[in-house]
Amino acid sequence: MNTDSAIAITVHLPDFLFQSIVERPQLLFELFATRQQEDLKAFLFEQLVDKDGAPDFEDFQVHLFRYNNLARKGTFRLKFAIKRQFCCADTESCSFDYLDFDFVYEHERIVAQAHYFNWNLDN
């Protein structure tokens, strides 16, 4: 498992679009560049202890979006599904997880950072 459990994402965002995100938080993930989405999935894959079943990450949803206009800081939760396909047993599994991001909004960009917490017991 990768010991660096933090990820940072920067999204360039004009003020009018930021106001749209306050009203419709899911728009934030939709504005992640394709490369940022790929980097996020690669980061999540590296954090998994169990890589059996070729884990794939899907169904990203932004929840609990909060923003303090005076501090120009906020938080949001990015929920996602971890889907696995076990070829030899012809079975599938799905679990859900999330990342809690802290962000700053300055100069028409969001700079968000999160740390991954591994929920699997390793004993």
| pLDDT (average), residues 20-39 | 92
Q: How far apart are CA 118 and CA 122, in angstroms?
A: 10
Band (pLDDT 50/70/90 cuts) for residue 8 is very high
Band (pLDDT 50/70/90 cuts) for residue 104 is very high
Tens-place pLDDT, residues 67-88 = 999 999 999 999 999 888 887 7
Check residue 86 and give its pLDDT: 81
Q: How far apart are CA 92 and CA 67, in angstroms?
A: 38
What DSSP assignment string belongs to 95-120?
A: EEEEEEEEEEEETTEEEEEEE----S
Q: Any bridge partners for residue 11, and if so which?
A: 110
Distances (CA, A) of 81 to 11, 84, 98, 107, 110: 22, 10, 9, 32, 24
- Answer with the residue of higher pLDDT: 120 or 69: 69
Range list of H helices, the chain: 15-23, 26-30, 34-47
Q: Any bridge partners for residue 91, and if so which?
A: 86
- Answer with the residue of higher pLDDT: 101 or 51: 101
Check residue 2 and give its pLDDT: 43
Q: How far apart are CA 10 and CA 110, in angstroms?
A: 6
